[in-house]
Amino acid sequence: MSTHCEIETLLIVEDDALHREFLRKTLQESDLQIGQILEASDGEQGTRLSQDYRPDAAILDLQVPKKTGVDIAKTIWNRRAHTPIMFWSNYSDEAYVRGITRVAPPKANYGYLLKTTAKDRLERAIIGIFRDGQNIIDREISGIKQRSENKFSALSDKEYEILVDIALGLTDGGIAARRGISVRSVQARLQNLYAKLGICEVPKLKDGVGAYNRRNRAVAVALMSRQLNGKTLEMAEKELHHHLNLEDDT
Amino acid sequence: MSTHCEIETLLIVEDDALHREFLRKTLQESDLQIGQILEASDGEQGTRLSQDYRPDAAILDLQVPKKTGVDIAKTIWNRRAHTPIMFWSNYSDEAYVRGITRVAPPKANYGYLLKTTAKDRLERAIIGIFRDGQNIIDREISGIKQRSENKFSALSDKEYEILVDIALGLTDGGIAARRGISVRSVQARLQNLYAKLGICEVPKLKDGVGAYNRRNRAVAVALMSRQLNGKTLEMAEKELHHHLNLEDDT
DNA sequence: AAAAGTCCTGCGGGATACCGCAGGAGGTAT
DNA sequence: ATACCTCCTGCGGTATCCCGCAGGACTTTT
């Protein structure tokens, strides 16, 4: 029952019962040889099962109650960095993919698929990730980049970092304190970001006043292109409180 | 087949095949008497069916390809304002509920449920909306308001409006031009908004500089509390281009 | 070696955000 | 009638955003 299985234990964390059942059936109908399939409907249960049973592979819904799929992945990868993990989600936001790449170990084996993926494509992707060790990112997400004419796909980690800083509402001084650079350097980095996002030139109103302010406009553009969302901001906010010595006056 | 039905024609618009099937079964197993159930898997098909068949009721997924559930609802309500519509979604964002209330006719009969709703509760909600004419908003969404300690739930439409304006990146001058008020009035409204969001007092850094700028901070707070998201910004951006005479220089 | 590229940083200056103060207009309550 | 409330708006002043200019440090390329 076990010595001939490609995957001895596979963990599914998915709160939607229909989707959970669909995944189990898809796995059972595939030609992957799996010993046992564990199922969890929320993040805490998922984390507990992953600690108790040490799965050889996992399929994690990004958004589950009580703990995110990324958190669970971190737990799994902390134990065994090579564990293949497939994330699946309703969300094609690049923001979420960045969330994963930030915690993924070097050379991690993972995939990111949308729940809208057709069953046969899903099956092939699962085999690609778990048997062939491929990293597969759903084409829909890549499609977002292309739609944006490569303007946004070229945001470096440092550029994305300062985007998040302004999205949290930090002043130039606040960012400078956080990053240990000068205020003028903050501004230099922002100029770079604005150029990347194509918002250096701002339309003028009839009386010559600019219609947009670049700081807010950069965040708006990133939100609309799904590089930022409320969830990633929450996570950034948590990190912020570790890094910044604020006189607590809120 | 028809003269004894409570609902002669009911339209389902839902792109996820599993969810679509689940809805159909739930309806057939309920004690609602329904003549025919039409199904659409995207927004265009949904709009076409609603125009061709004039459904007496509808269940609309908020996020479907090609056209939003809100757009379809608008089409339906433009024809017959009393049509009961149940929206269902993965999203508990207050931003989406606001999107619906903005297009709903006075005295419209609608509901908003989450896809995580248990089947028996879903069934009861469907009957409540379609037979009893109730308006039912999922408790999870109300729960968000409570979690935020009533700070955000008290945002008036006008306050929300100017929140969206700054989230789009408009300058004070830009908002003044858009709303036909003075720049100082824009600032007065913003002061009100900042007070409502609890961000008038901003923590200071060690050198006495503020840590946050209020404009960006307000947007961050709203994003994190799900009163704003990328989708609602996109819709607002579209409207903006109707209202603002910008020298097109982007 | 010199040249080029990248990033950092101080300086100065204009544009915009933010806000207290004060007065006015319109509406409601007593 | 007066008093109160809400919102609008001009004025003046401070804080912050934004950016050109220029020089320096470090790395890479020729």
Stretch A105-129: mean pLDDT, rounded?
A: 85
Both B24 and B97 in a single domain? yes
Return the structure tokens found at B105.
């006719």
Which pair of tokens denotes residue A248? 């607590």
Domain boundary, last residue among B117, B145, B173: B145
C-alpha B93, offset from chain centre: 8
CA(A210)–C1'(C16) in Å?
9
Structure tokens given for B190: 């913003």
Asked whether residue B189 is domain-assigned, the answer is yes
Q: Which helix (H) or strand (E) holds B36?
A: strand B34-40
Beta pairing class for B85-89 and B110-114:
parallel
Which residue of chain A has the CA closest to B116?
Answer: A16
pLDDT at res. B133:
83
- A22 and A73 belong to one structural domain: yes
Is residue A249 a part of any domain in this protein?
A: no
Together in a domain, A127 and A178? no
* pLDDT tens string B208-239: 899 999 999 999 999 998 888 888 898 899 88
Task: Write the ipTM.
Answer: 0.76
Q: In a mutagenesis test of the A interface, which of B205, B233, B234, B238 is the best target, namely the one with the most A β-carbons within 10 Å?
A: B205
Question: Vertex A223, ends A217 and A227: CA angle to 5°?
Answer: 115
B55 shares its domain with B125: yes
Among A residues 196-215, those touching chain B with beta carbons less than 8 Å apart: 198-199, 201-207, 209-215
Residues A161 and A71 in one domain: no
Nearest protein residue by Cα to C1' of nucleotide C8:
A185
What's the total number of domains in chain B?
A: 2
Establish if A150 belongs to a structural domain: no
Ordered strands of the B136-137 beta sheet: B34-40, B7-13, B57-61, B85-89, B110-114, B136-137
pTM for this entry: 0.75
Residue B152 domain-assigned (yes or no): no
| Residues B234-245: b if buried by 16+ CB within 10 A, e if exposed | ebbbeebeeebe
CATH number of domain containing B184? 1.10.10.10
Per-residue model confidence as pLDDT tens digits over B12-69: 999 888 889 999 999 998 889 999 999 999 999 999 999 999 999 999 998 887 788 8
B135 and B39 in a single domain? The answer is yes
The CA distance from A14 to B164, in Å, is 34
**Shared domain check, A136 and A12:** yes
SS (H, E, C) B40-97: ECCHHHHHHHHHHHCCCEEEEECCCCCCCHHHHHHHHHHHCCCCCEEEEECCCCHHHH
In a domain? residue B250: no
Task: Tell whether A139 and A66 lie within a shared domain.
Answer: yes
With 0-12 CB in 10 A as exposed, 13-18 as middle and 19+ as buried, what is B209? middle
Please give the residue range of the domain that contains residue B226: 157-243
Residue closest to B86 by CA, chosen among B10, B31, B184: B10
